[in-house]
């Protein structure tokens, strides 16, 4: 029976740990010179992109190559998903050609529809609602640096966007406490917050970044204006004044606090260059771990 990665809510804590442990194993072995090109030899991944990408495209494409498979890039103008052809028909056609589908899209319903109709595994490479692959890379990074996850405090400063939503789901599964400081009207998805709290997770929605940062183990931020929201950029810059991760905010967290950002960064807005390059920063470790976490997902779903 095929399995999809649309949301981390669909995966148990044990299954998520399985992804993290395999990712750590593949990363360790690769650094020791081992090759894993036997794992997905002869397999093909279709990569559907409605949004431009650096980390998602390169990490999935390189990951498939390192596992012995092939990744096929399908850009916004290649298939015009949902315009030239219905999502259902795209899913059914691709299922006859490839062994898996990764989609980086705007509407979350597009990923859900692809998963519903495809007969091969579908991976959510990003939607406006969720970014599970980023959250997996983040959990891998935190685990590597802290050697544990349960009981840690993750403070997210900024917009309650797709990354924040997936981090809430990951924290709920793996036992981290989640705080977000955001302006009114920019809270994470209420259904996701409610479901996380129903699982016993601590999810705090705050207005004051200083309150969120106090004694935090992780300070996390993301751009104030996501792709597709460009018309709101100036309004958002005004609303998010005071929500910048800088050295003053970092001083309120624990001394060994990790500074995290899923990139791309707008230095001087959601984070200062100084904080992004501080000894606490693990931003580029996160970026690297997109590769390793996604290789684990691919190996589990496509084998």
Active site residues: 104, 131, 134, 222, 262, 290
**Which of these, 296, 205, 248, lies nearest to 11 by C-alpha position?**
296
Find, among 153, 126, 161, the residue nearest to 252 by Cα: 153
Closest Cα partner for 139 from 227, 272, 8?
Answer: 8
The C-alpha atoms of residue 82 and residue 257 are separated, in whole angstroms, by 43
Cα distances from 297 to residues 6, 31, 239, in angstroms, run 12, 19, 37
Sheet order of strands, 100-104 included: 70-74, 44-49, 100-104, 122-126
For residue 62, how many other CB atoms are within 10 A of its CB? Answer: 15
Count Cα atoms within 13 angstroms, Cβ side, for 45: 34
- Which of 23, 298, 290, 22 is CA-nearest to residue 166? 290
The answer to whether the beta carbons of residues 81 and 105 sit under 8 Å apart is: yes
Pull the structure tokens for residue 200.
Answer: 């016993």
What are the distances in angstroms from CA 18 to CA 86, 296, 300?
Answer: 35, 9, 9
Distance CA 268, CA 12 (A): 38
147: how many CB neighbours lie within 10 A of its CB?
Answer: 7
Residue 136's closest CA among 34, 60, 235?
60
């Amino acid at each position: 029976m095929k399995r999809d990665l649309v949301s981390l809510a669909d995966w148990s804590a044990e299954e998520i740990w399985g992804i993290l442990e395999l990712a750590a194993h593949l990363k360790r072995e690769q650094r020791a010179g081992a090759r894993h090109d036997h794992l997905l030899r002869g397999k093909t991944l279709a990569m559907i992109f409605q949004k431009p990408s650096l980390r998602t495209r390169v990490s999935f494409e390189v990951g498939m190559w390192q596992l012995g498979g092939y990744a096929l890039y399908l850009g916004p103008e290649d298939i015009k998903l949902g315009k030239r052809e219905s999502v259902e028909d795209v899913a059914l056609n691709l299922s006859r050609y490839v062994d898996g589908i990764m989609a980086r899209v705007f509407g979350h319903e597009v990923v859900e529809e692809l998963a519903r109709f495809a007969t091969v595994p579908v991976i959510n490479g990003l939607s406006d609602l969720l970014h599970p692959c980023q959250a997996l890379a983040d959990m891998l990074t935190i685990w590597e640096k802290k050697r544990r996850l349960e009981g840690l405090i993750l403070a997210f400063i900024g917009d309650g966007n797709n990354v924040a939503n997936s981090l809430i789901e990951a924290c709920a599964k793996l036992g981290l406490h989640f705080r977000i400081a955001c302006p009114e009207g920019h809270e994470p998805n209420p259904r996701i917050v409610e479901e996380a709290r129903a699982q016993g997770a601590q999810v705090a929605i705050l207005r004051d970044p200083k309150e969120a940062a106090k004694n935090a183990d992780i300070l996390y931020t993301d751009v104030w204006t996501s792709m597709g929201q460009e018309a709101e950029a100036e309004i958002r810059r005004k609303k998010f004044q005071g929500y910048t991760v800088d050295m003053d905010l970092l001083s309120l967290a624990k001394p060994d606090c990790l500074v995290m950002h899923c990139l791309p960064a707008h230095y001087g807005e959601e984070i200062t260059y100084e904080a992004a390059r501080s000894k606490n920063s693990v931003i580029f470790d996160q970026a690297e771990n997109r590769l390793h976490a996604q290789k684990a997902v691919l190996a589990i779903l496509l084998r």
